[in-house]
Every structure is written in C-alpha cells, then in structure tokens.
Amino acid sequence: MMKRWVHYKPPRWPALAMALLLAGAWLVIGLPSQAAPGQAGKGAGHGHARNIILIVGDGTSHSLLQAARLVAAGPSGRLAVDELPHTASVLTHSANSLVTDSAAAATAMATGVKTVNGAVGVDAGGKAVPTVLERAKAAGKAVGLVTTSYITDATPAAFAAHVTNRADTTAIAAQMLERGVDVILGGGENDFLPADQNGCYPQPGKRTDGRDLMAEARSQGYTTICRADELDELAGRPVKKVLGLFADGDLFPALYQEVGAAAGDDGGKSGGDVPSLATMTARAIEVLARNPKGFFLLVEEEGTDELAHARDVAGAVRAARGLDAAVEVALRFARDRRDTLVIVVGDHETGGLAIQGTGNGYSSDPQAPCPAGAEGPFRTPDGQAFCLSQATAAHTGQPVPIAAYGPGAARVTGVLDNTDVARIMLAAMGLNRKP
C-alpha cells in the first residue's frame, strides 16, 4: 500500500531564535570531531586508525587474566589490559566444530571468514581469503608479526599465508617473505633453512627444497638477527625490514617455565638469547612506525595456551603477565597519539581454568591447602591466597575477552563473533570495502 505523504509546515520561529539555532548547528556539524577534555587519554573510540596493533593471547580467558591480576596487583588492582575502555565477549566456534583450534580462530580474525580446524588463511572449501595484513600492505602500510611461538605457527601464519594444513610450516615461511612482511620476530629458525644447514641454533633446517630463506631475506633488504642483544642494538637504527628468529622452535619456554626461566614473575624480561614479548613489540613498533602511511602489527603470546595444555598453570599465569607487559608497550605508544587502535583478544580458551579459594574453597588463608586437584596456593601482594584448577588440557568452547583502545574501538561492544574482529579492524582503517 502506497504511503500518503503529508506536507509539514514548521512553526514560525522568531528570526533571532532561528539564527541562534542555525549558528549552533554549524558549530556542531561544521567543526572537526574532538574528544571531550580528558577523553583522549581514555581511548576515545571513534574515527579512523592509521595504525592497528592486534594483540592475541592464545588460549587466554577471563579467568587467566584474573589470576594474573590477582598475582600482579591484588583483588583491587588492575592490569594494563584493564585500561582499554571498550570491552566485549567473543564467540569462537569454527566452521566444523564448536571448539576451535588456533588456526581456524586466527583465520576468522584475520579474514572475517570461518574455516575448518587446521586450515590457515583459507575458507572452509580451501580457497585463499585476503587477510587484514594483506589488505593493509596493499594500502601502503608497513606490516609485522611478533610471537613467542615459532613464527610459522597457526596464529601468525593465518595473517600472512594460505595453506589447508597448519603443519605445512616451510610453505608458510616462504609465503611470509612473499607477502613482504616487514617485521618478523619469533622462533622457528629451522623453517627458514635447508636440511643440510644449521643457523644460530642446534637443529638443522627443515626445508627439503634447498632454499635458504635467511639468505633470500637479506637479499631483499632484511636485517636478519638471532639474539636478544642484536634486537636491542636495532634501537634507533633506521632499518625498515627485520627478520629475527631467536630459537629453533618456541620462545615461551625460556621466558616462563620454571627450568631456565629468566623472566621472573612479571614476564617483562628477556631470557638469554630470547627477547621478551614486550621487547619484541617495542622494537617492531619502532620499525613499522617509520612508514608514513601507518602500520598493522600482530602480536601473539603463545605461552598462555601451550603452558595450559601442559597443565602448568603457574607458567600460564607468568605468560599472561608477559602478555600484559606487551599491552603496556602498545598502550604507551597509542596514548601519545590519536591514530592507533589497540585490540587485545583471546583466540579461544584453553584448560577450563577456575579460580578457587583455599581450605574449604571459601578462604584466602595462605596457610590453608588447596582443594584436591587444584594447584597453589598463589599469593596476592597483600598476602591473600587462591588456587587454580583446570577442567581439561584441551581447548574449550567458552567465549573469550576482547578489549580495545583508540579510533574504531567503540565497535567493540556486546557479544561478538571472532569474524567481527577482522571487520572492526578493516573498518577502522577505512578498508572495509571488498578488494
């Protein structure tokens, strides 16, 4: 049925009142948007982002962050991640399971498309899907990957590679160089070397195609490094491309596990040849920020997942503090500007972690034992205690936390799907139209 349009006659306003109204309207719509006094430091969430820093706590849950919060700052204290004002929960199921793996979860956040467990940078049918990193690179931005895992592991791989099997790590390594990733920092040196060659670390290379990707990277203008002190020495140097591989495999064992760990409880220090996540994040930002068009940086803490798989809850808490130290680095950069979106998110939950009281389960007495099956007690700075237990050594289907600061952060609200993370980042950069 056709609607009948009714002509509306506005009331006859006095001339002076109408003039004042119009003047006020021009003041509202004619001036550039400005944050209210004090809001710039509180992560005003609108506008476009020149830079994006996505920080993924692999396997990180609300419970793990709360355990880290209690150990670091006590029941009334806060972590750096708590300074991100826009928060939500994220649903994590994959295309073929209610419980995702890291490959499918990272692909969803990198591309906005669900895929099957084990697949990287492809849809459920195996077709390559453009990633946020690739879209940023095509827009002229610098791009980087940082992890305490091996760099070809599922999460960083999903942003810069397209394979149907996450185990195809040598192909992933080659694709990362082909994509022109400007900063690559993590473990996994042997994925870049031929089988008859050793690099800085004991294991020989894994490559059966004879390619020496380290040499190829140097020919493409990368500065290649393999020790924490070499990373420190890059400070202030005008390098634009860095490939830093600090172990044959993962970095997190040297940082957070009891045997040989040098990180201490705060997770912010390097362990021998292995730089901390915070140090790698700071150096990556310094290099990438030299691009006048901005940058996209993925930062991943892997220890929060793998140590929960190993039922090393104390190590997982230390890794969560290492994650938070990297968040503080990112926030320090973003607070001085109004063009950087920082997002911190879990890709899935690992372990079904629960925080319990001591004794009968309702006490915080550090002298009381933990309930059966729980570890601890863990102490807070004010002398209270708590215990931690896991329901499983595998992933779970629990929603995970997300928090954001900066332009575009206001889109982080309510209950999100993990594919929304990609859309939020693309919209913030003004790249949300299909390529």
- In the residue annotation, 102 being an active-site residue is answered as yes
Inter-residue contact 142 to 239 (CB < 8 Å): no
Burial 58-84 (b: 16+ CB within 10 A, else e): bbbbbbbbbbbbbbbeeeeeebbbebb
Other residues' Cβ atoms within 10 Å of the Cβ of residue 369:
12
Q: Is 46 helix (H, G, I), strand (E, B) or coil?
A: coil
Task: Give which of 16, 53, 18 is closest to 425, Cα–Cα.
Answer: 53
Task: Give which of 162, 99, 90, 139 is closest to 343, Cα–Cα.
Answer: 90
Q: Position of tokens 């201490």?
A: 264
Q: What are the residues whose beta carbons fall under 8 Å from the beta carbon of 29, sequence distance 6 or more?
A: none
C-alpha distances in Å from residue 422, one per residue of 299, 416, 432:
15, 11, 9
Q: Which of 102, 270, 364, 389 is catalytic?
A: 102
CA 207, 209, 213: angle at the middle one, nearest 5?
60
Among all residues, which ones are annotated catalytic? 102
